[in-house]
Amino acid sequence: MCGIAGFVRLSPEAPGDLEAQATRMGAAIAHRGPDDAGVWVQPELGLALAHQRLAILDLSSAGHQPMTSATGRYVIAFNGEIYNHRAIRRQLEAAGLAPAWRGHADTEILLAAIEAWGLEVALQRCIGMWALALVDLRDHQLQLARDRFGEKPLYWGLSGSGQQQALLFGSELAALRGYPGFQNPINRQAFTELLRFCYVPAPLSIYAGITKLPPGHCVSIPLPLQPSAALPASRPWWQLNSQIETSYAQPFSSETEALETLEQALTQAVADQALSDVPLGAFLSGGIDSSLVTALLQSQSSRPVRTFTIAFEEAGFNEAPYARAVAAHLGTDHYETTLTSADALALIPQLPQLYSEPFADSSQLPTHLVCREARLAGFTVALSGDGGDELFGGYNRYFWGPRIWNRLAWLPAPLRRSLGSAIVSLPPSAWDALGRPLPIKQFGHKAHKLASRLRHVNSSDDLYRSLICEPSDQEVPLQPLPACLSGDSVARMMVWDALGYLPDDILVKVDRAAMAVGLETRAPFLDHRVAALAWRLPMAMKIPPGKGAAASKWSLRQILYKYVPKHLIERPKAGFAIPIGQWLRGPLRPWAAELLHPDRLRSEGYLSPEPISRLWQQHLSGRYDHTTKLWSVLMWQAWLEQWG
């Protein structure tokens, strides 16, 4: 895993040393690749590439980047891993298309594949995760590309003015800010979306003129780049919707066939992603996804696998005992660290630096801490369970959403609004007490969240919209989906999550939290072969009817039960929740109060002080839980303080 950056000047007369400027951009993301740094420049094209290397495969100098292909036609800056690079190498050798190899780095093999087949065909044959910048010196093109699900980030766009104007690209916005001519203003639309979603959804970025390259997309930019030329549009080289249509047309003939095929694919994905020339471990929460990844990893290892988890002092949030029990059963070498409010307070000032763009999923705190502890323990690679929920039906909204809508659909909108007001009249603590028999964590918080959204709901798709973002008079546009999903509201929610929430929240959170300490994370569930199989499964093998939310991800459970007893797994889904709401009323209160001070908000000019103060006082009273809204504002304020 690494960091990439670069630029193309629009003016050949622009002053400044290309190499020095590229070095500065790379240094801004040195945390992503602390093992080596490289720069490549082409003055005639006004072009520079920078690379920060985290050495995972082929630790020798043969893996140094930017890397030039054997013929000299291509130069690449690559961030990611190609898990099947050995198989591709054998294919090239068998076809007589292999160069004289300098080492065994996956980047060198990818370059040879691009020489042999072209970029898009090479990417389609690759299994892995990546963001890359590829210079074609023969056809005078710069090509940018991103992996299928968006595990690795890539920003790009124009910045600067006059002779300093340039096309910039990089793994993080910090790299783009490192360009001396960077002067892009705040994107007000992106700021609004941040407050609605807790993240900036693609293709937007917090800066006007800078966008995120969508997952599964590439873009070809002609060189030299003319000042008057419009930037080309990106194009998909892989599409989830197309994969779903293909999978739907090939259903399994039986549950037995489905489970056997799925287990084989997951086992292979874990084996492929366990390939590393540096120490490797796994994150273990004790839930279905991480436990299954850990179990499959341990089943293929002759030594105890190192596992890591986070504990909390607050009992209602602490899932560490479950992870500990799973680790003991599997025989892993388990490491546990506790996150306290003091740890959170110490981490919070670092968040704008870690994330580079404002980001407000509060589980960023425990995610970073577990990554940091794994790195301190000497590990450079960790496997995670990310992607399991979106592919196999793990989120509570998939179970409860349709059921809630079916019970509310007959109510006229005014009655739904009245019902919402009645729910909010009781504080979250009262709902927690009433909901104690139900298998739902943080019942009071979720009841208030649902109540605040009832006035915006007119269909099951509206309910999904209301659950993924804060209410607004502006409707959230949902991406088009395959016709085969028209009658399945749960499947539609899962695909929308895979297209939006997964790449823009979950994968952003993990990438930045891990790369801030030079740790590579890998997600076996996001192997596209596993995803293809997931969409061949009937919904009943994901969320079986009549068995409750606790039976979700049924197919994964059946495989996991071969390795771990049911009683260690059977419990309600909790996620990676932390007691931020409690901490804001306690030890984090002075920090939050300073950022939310009305005079400060008024002088900055982005937020109206009155509604923010009202939310803050209501939250402090304990009758309301405005954690999500307040955390978005606080993360914006903290980011603005450092980068605004």
Q: Name the token pair of 25.
A: 């951009």
Tell whether domain 241-393+499-568 is in CATH 3.40.50.620: yes
* Residue written as token pair 């009943």: 540
pLDDT at 574 over 60: no
CA distance 351 to 22: 25
Confidence of residue 319 (pLDDT cuts 50, 70, 90): confident
Pairing state between β 141-146 and 128-136: antiparallel
Q: Three-state DSSP class for 292?
A: helix
CATH 3.40.50.620 domain residues, the chain:
241-393+499-568
pLDDT given for residue 570 in this prediction: 82
Q: Of 499, 479, 493, 498, whose CA–CA distance to 405 is shortest?
A: 493
pLDDT given for residue 575 in this prediction: 56
- Reported in sequence order, the residue ranges of 452-590 that DSSP labels E, i.e. its strands, are 520-522
Q: How many CA atoms lie within 13 A of 104 on its CB side?
A: 12
Q: Of 531, 462, 533, whose CA–CA distance to 499 is shortest?
A: 531
Q: Of 65, 41, 30, whose CA–CA distance to 166 is shortest?
A: 41
User: Ranked by mean pLDDT, which of 276-285, 426-435, 449-458, 519-528 comes out on top?
Assistant: 519-528
Q: What is the pLDDT of residues 198-246, one digit of tens each?
A: 999 999 999 999 999 999 999 999 999 888 778 999 999 999 999 999 9
Q: What is the pLDDT of residues 335-358, one digit of tens each?
A: 998 888 888 889 998 999 999 999
pLDDT at 576 over 60: no
% of the chain exceeding 70 in pLDDT: 94
Mean pLDDT to the nearest integer, 627-642: 96
Length of the chain: 644
pLDDT at 360 over 90: yes
pLDDT given for residue 320 in this prediction: 87
DSSP string, 367-423: HHHHHHHHHHTT-SEEE--TTHHHHHT-SHHHHHHHHHHHHHTTS-HHHHHHHHHHH
What fold, for 2-238?
Answer: Glutamine Phosphoribosylpyrophosphate, subunit 1, domain 1 (3.60.20)
CA distance 362 to 628: 8
**In this structure, which long-range contacts are made by residues 415-419, counting pairs with CB atoms below 8 Å and at least 24 apart in sequence?**
416/454, 416/455, 416/457, 417/454, 417/455, 419/451, 419/454
Mean pLDDT to the nearest integer, 142-156: 98
pLDDT given for residue 401 in this prediction: 82
Confidence of residue 306 (pLDDT cuts 50, 70, 90): very high
pLDDT at 412 over 90: no
Q: What is the pLDDT of residues 98-113, one digit of tens each?
A: 999 998 899 999 999 9
pLDDT at 476 over 90: no
pLDDT at 3 over 90: yes
Q: Three-state DSSP class for 59?
A: coil
Q: What is the pLDDT of residues 171-195, one digit of tens each?
A: 999 999 999 989 999 999 999 999 9
Mean pLDDT to the nearest integer, 588-594: 95
Q: What is the pLDDT of residues 131-141, one digit of tens each?
A: 999 999 999 99
**In this structure, which long-range contacts are made by residues 603-607, counting pairs with CB atoms below 8 Å and at least 24 apart in sequence?**
604/640, 604/644, 606/186, 606/191, 606/636, 606/640, 607/633, 607/636
pLDDT given for residue 314 in this prediction: 67
- Those residues with Cβ within 8 angstroms of residue 335's Cβ, 6 or more apart along the chain or in another chain: 306, 307, 308, 309, 373, 374, 377
Letter for the amino acid at 129? Answer: M
CATH 3.60.20.10 domain residues, the chain:
2-238
**In this structure, which long-range contacts are made by residues 160-166, counting pairs with CB atoms below 8 Å and at least 24 apart in sequence?**
162/11, 163/11, 163/13, 163/14, 163/15, 164/11, 164/14, 164/16, 165/9, 165/10, 165/11, 165/227, 166/7, 166/8, 166/9, 166/10, 166/14, 166/46
* Residue written as token pair 């809630």: 404
pLDDT at 583 over 80: yes
Mean pLDDT to the nearest integer, 480-494: 93
Q: Of 215, 218, 219, whose CA–CA distance to 243 is shortest?
A: 215
Mean pLDDT to the nearest integer, 142-152: 98
Confidence of residue 270 (pLDDT cuts 50, 70, 90): very high
pLDDT given for residue 442 in this prediction: 66
pLDDT at 402 over 70: yes
pLDDT given for residue 229 in this prediction: 75
- Window from 25-29, 239-243, 407-411, 590-594 with minimum mean pLDDT: 407-411
CA distance 568 to 321: 10
pLDDT at 70 over 90: yes
Q: Does pTM surpass 0.75? A: yes
- Window from 245-249, 380-384, 417-421, 523-527 with minimum mean pLDDT: 417-421
CA distance 477 to 465: 9
Confidence of residue 454 (pLDDT cuts 50, 70, 90): low
pLDDT given for residue 248 in this prediction: 94
CA distance 172 to 167: 15
CA distance 599 to 73: 58
Mean pLDDT of the chain, nearest integer: 91
Letter for the amino acid at 262? Answer: L
Confidence of residue 1 (pLDDT cuts 50, 70, 90): low
pLDDT given for residue 315 in this prediction: 63
Confidence of residue 572 (pLDDT cuts 50, 70, 90): low
Helical pair 320-330 and 288-299, crossing angle rounded to 10 deg: 20
Q: How many CA atoms lie within 13 A of 154 on its CB side?
A: 30
Tell me how many degrees the CA angle 6-510-176 measures, rounded to the nearest 5. 20
- Those residues with Cβ within 8 angstroms of residue 253's Cβ, 6 or more apart along the chain or in another chain: none
